[in-house]
Chain A
Amino acid sequence: MPMTITEKILARHAGLESVAPGDLVEAKVDLAFAHDFTAPIAIQVFKQIGAPKVFDRKRVALVADHFVPNKDIASAEQAKLMREFAREQDLELYYEVGEAGIGHVLLPEQGLVVPGQLVIGADSHTCAYGALGAFSTGVGSTDFAAVMATGETWLRVPPTIRVEYTGTLRPLVGGKDLILRLIGEIGVEGALYAALEFCGDVVAKLSMPHRFAMANMAIEAGAKNGIIVPDETTKAYVKDRARWEPLYLASDAGARYDRTITIDVSALEPQIAFPPSPANVRPVSEAKNITLDQVFIGSCTNGWLEDLRDAAKILKGRKKAKGLRLIVIPASPTILKEATQEGLVETFLDAGGVIGPPCCGPCLGGHMGILASGERALATTNRNFVGRMGHPKSEVFLCNPSIAAASAVLGRIGSPEEL
């Protein structure tokens, strides 16, 4: 029976010939991931379950990336719990401050997620790895604990929504804009329980960071997973870093999709998600006179080296607006090092920006740039619900790295063309 790539991966991992949307399957998990925000509860639950050891000490990844370097005593205690558990279980994939980056960037960068895998993460943006042609979805701490104990999880096979991007991309428009446009169109519930399969010539021409940005935000439309059929770009990325054998699957010609959404990008401008929702999306030309207190460039969505290069290109030789705070956080130690070697860090510093250690930082209102009452931030992050980055009376707008950089110079939301 013809299947979509999502269905194929689930069928394989459930030991079934084929599956169809709606089927409940028990699937073997290739990699389970959690971080310092979600692991503490999971560890308690794991101990309640009573399994003596995790299912495979090489397939449970714990990364300290949220409230690190620890922002207060409580967070330090949580990180300590995670550290001690990693030692006790002799986990191969434990990442401490210094080696740790944002999990969703670090794990692919280290070749720990490969095409064809089934990945479960105690974090909603785990769907990001679908960019590699893996099935990857977010769960809560109890589900994650259950995976640690059994190496399996139950899943309902999602219907797949095919999203085809056609036309030619204009300059400064990339993966972030493509996904924002989709969420703007279908809403935060538009893909509820579904798989979002991104395709089309436009996607085929995107580099991996742009693909990761798209799959990363599948959750913001309510999707179970986002996925891109692997191609030569995927193979080139995975080739020298894969720690496991990749499996290159594709959707069959006759596979059934719930529906197809076609988006012509030829006239697409960079997109801005206005508060208070990732679905409140408008083109940047409609974001007039929105003065800013803070610009944040980073996060699992847009903290890749390529994103920093895009931002640095705009900021080179320029200074941030007076009174505005510019915060740049590379997503992994490797990216920070490369950004330094390429002179990007110097560019950000000369522009009046500050560089943070690889972590999630202010994205979720953790630390490193929390907003006060009445403040407005523009960020390359993925979520802007009320209070997301600080005070409930603060506001967050979402955008791509080039727009963030230009806006930091302008002091208001705007485009590089205005510089």
Chain B
Amino acid sequence: MKYEGRVWKFGDDVDTDFIIASRYCNVSDGADLAKHAFADARPEFASSAAEGDVIVGGRNFGCGSSREHAPIAIKAAGVRAIIAKSFARIFYRNAFNIGLPLLESVEAAEDIQDGDRLSVDLIAGRIENLTRGKSYSARPIPPFMEQLIREGGLVEYIRKEKLASR
């Protein structure tokens, strides 16, 4: 699971209203939601984000509302991983549940700049900054979260692990 793409950099406490405003959350489809991701703060995100791109944030990324519309919009826009110093807990669960991996690394989050090109190895937690010629190691993803990623998300995990045995 390796991805390469450009960085979209944000600061601390990026809340889920910031990621996708309530007025856009009267729909559930990822493609529709992706059109409005970061609409107020980075209006160019919706049209320019591409497959393999990475979001880099500071502390407490994804705080506030539990809206799953937020990671759904981000993933549908093509983002394949989010790197931050720390994540809010509901966002953390939501992202892994839908198959969007999150990597925690204070060093990476501080060093990486908007527009950098990164190559990310999700399972190993290795981040290569192709623009700056540096690399970073993220905290290992907890085994249960890794399992979710390998299965493709919570739905697949439940179908295989929980319902199959009933």
Which A residues are closer than 8 A to B by beta carbons? Answer: 24, 37-38, 40-41, 44-45, 48-51, 67, 71-72, 74-75, 78, 122-124, 138-143, 145-146, 149-150, 154, 188-189, 192-193, 219, 222, 224, 277, 364-366, 383, 385-388, 392
Interface string of B14-33 (1 = CB under 8 A from A): 01011001110111100000
Residues of A within 8 A of B162 (CB): 149-150
Q: From B13, B28, B65, B94, give the contact of A44 (CB < 8 A).
A: B28
Verify A365–B22 contact, CB threshold 8 A.
yes
Verify B63–A140 contact, CB threshold 8 A.
no
Q: From B21, B88, B154, give the contact of A192 (CB < 8 A).
A: B88
- A140-B94, A364-B65 known; 19 new pairs, CB 8 Å cut-off, are A37-B25, A37-B67, A41-B28, A41-B72, A44-B28, A78-B28, A124-B66, A138-B90, A140-B66, A142-B94, A142-B154, A145-B155, A149-B163, A150-B158, A188-B60, A189-B60, A192-B89, A365-B22, A386-B41
Cα–Cα, bound, A74→B26 (Å): 6
Q: From B22, B40, B67, B159, give the contact of A392 (CB < 8 A).
A: B40
Cα–Cα, bound, A192→B21 (Å): 23
Interface string of B122-166 (1 = CB under 8 A from A): 000000000000000000000010000000011100110011000
Closest Cβ of chain A: how far from B64's Cβ, in Å? Answer: 6
Is residue B86 contacting chain A, with contact meaning CB distance below 8 A? Answer: yes
Residues of B within 8 A of A50 (CB): 159, 163
Q: From B28, B64, B86, give the contact of A383 (CB < 8 A).
A: B64
Q: A75-B26, A139-B93, A365-B17 are in contact. Are A124 and B65 (CB under 8 A)?
A: yes
Q: A188-B13, A189-B86, A192-B60 are in contact. Are A365 and B21 (CB under 8 A)?
A: yes
Residues of A within 8 A of B97 (CB): 140, 142-143, 146
Residues of B within 8 A of A192 (CB): 60, 86, 88-89
Verify A364–B22 contact, CB threshold 8 A.
yes
Verify B69–A139 contact, CB threshold 8 A.
no
Cα–Cα, bound, A19→B159 (Å): 27
Cα–Cα, bound, A366→B60 (Å): 25
Cα–Cα, bound, A124→B18 (Å): 16
CB-CB nearest 8 A-B residue pairs:
A140-B94, A140-B68, A74-B26, A392-B40, A142-B97, A124-B66, A189-B60, A365-B22
- Contact sample, A vs B, 10 pairs, CB 8 Å cutoff: A38-B66, A40-B28, A67-B26, A142-B97, A143-B154, A145-B155, A149-B163, A365-B23, A383-B65, A385-B17
Cα–Cα, bound, A224→B90 (Å): 8
Closest Cβ of chain B: how far from A368's Cβ, in Å? Answer: 12
Closest Cβ of chain A: how far from B53's Cβ, in Å? Answer: 22
Is residue B9 contacting chain A, with contact meaning CB distance below 8 A? Answer: no
- Listed residue (A44, A141, A386) with the most chain B CB atoms within 10 angstroms of its CB: A141
Cα–Cα, bound, A72→B90 (Å): 28
Q: From B64, B90, B158, give the contact of A49 (CB < 8 A).
A: B158
Cα–Cα, bound, A122→B158 (Å): 18
Closest Cβ of chain A: how far from B142's Cβ, in Å? Answer: 8
Cα–Cα, bound, A277→B63 (Å): 11
Interface residues of B in 25-82 (CB under 8 A from A): 25-28, 40-41, 59-60, 63-69, 71-72
Q: A138-B90, A277-B13 are in contact. Are A146 and B26 (CB under 8 A)?
A: no
Cα–Cα, bound, A83→B87 (Å): 34
Verify A154–B144 contact, CB threshold 8 A.
yes
